[in-house]
Amino acid sequence: MGQRTPSGLARDTYAGLESFIDLDAPTPQELRRDDAHHAPFPRTSADAQIGALDPTTSSHGRSGVELGATEWLGDEHIQRDYELLAQELQMDHPELAARTQFVDPLIAHYQLRFGTASDMHRAIRRIVYDPNGNDTADFVFLPVNDATAPNRRGNHWSLLLLDRRTRGEPVAYHYDSVRRHNDEAAEQLARRLRARLASPGMAQQRNSYDCGLFLVDGTRALVRRLAQGEQPRHEPMHLDDLVINRQSLQDRLRSHPGLG
């Protein structure tokens, strides 16, 4: 997928969304089958050192979901937990589930942030429309990676919550566990989605490897608050008091190996 200038990408982002056709953009599974698409997303601290020599090196197989005590989360960890969270939400709060989308990290990075305009439009259609062609996505959770180009390796994850309840004035809330580190990537993604960017409070990580955990646990904390009825319009939900739990994520990944 070609890279364009930010100004070119921002133009007519939502053009043509009313026509629910042409949904032949690559699926996450198709993207994930191409080893090159894993390059920007580190899995272990060791990967960050050896990635330049072998971008496809991994501490475990492509289908593995084990997570070590100090391992960086890769796209497969995040997507696996997002799939599980979507299932939980569907069972416990089906009405909110119908209004909520959890975006695969590969789609967020390759199609929404760096894809051509047509790639991005098709990806957005897949995300916001239900099987009946209705635009139902009020809340869209997007992983953000700091890779500066599709073929570059990134080192940091953050979270963007796109609030689309006011369709003409979407707001993108950016939660970053290393303050301001992913500002440029979040601004680029928000600009392409034609959303106003805001930065709510977010607890800060105290090591070099928990950014992905702040992303998935932050997503779960926000979903819990939405399910409890905390849905202020155009007001941020702060996560200053977020407490992450690596053991819980490890348990979830081990207990649900069949997802994905």
For the whole model, what pTM was predicted?
0.80
Yes or no: say if 161 and 222 are a contact pair by the CB < 8 Å rule. yes
Confirm whether 97 is domain-assigned. Answer: yes
Per-residue pLDDT tens digits for 44-92: 333 332 222 122 323 343 345 789 999 999 999 999 999 999 999 999 9
Alpha-carbon dihedral sign for residues 179, 180, 183, 185: negative
Per-residue pLDDT tens digits for 32-41: 555 444 434 4
Confirm whether 4 is domain-assigned. Answer: no
CATH number at residue 187: 3.40.395.10
Listed residue (180, 186, 161, 181) closest to 171, CA to CA: 161
Confirm whether 138 is domain-assigned. Answer: yes
Confirm whether 1 is domain-assigned. Answer: no
Quote the domain boundaries for residue 250: 21-255
Q: Based on the structure, what is the number of domains in the chain?
A: 1
Confirm whether 95 is domain-assigned. Answer: yes
Confirm whether 7 is domain-assigned. Answer: no
Per-residue pLDDT tens digits for 109-129: 999 999 999 999 999 999 999
Listed residue (215, 202, 172, 210) closest to 81, CA to CA: 215
Q: Within 10 Å of residue 195's Cβ, how many Cβ atoms?
A: 20
Confirm whether 112 is domain-assigned. Answer: yes
Backbone angles phi, psi at 182, to 5 degrees: -100, 20
Per-residue pLDDT tens digits for 182-196: 999 999 999 999 999
Residues facing 175 on adjacent strands: 159
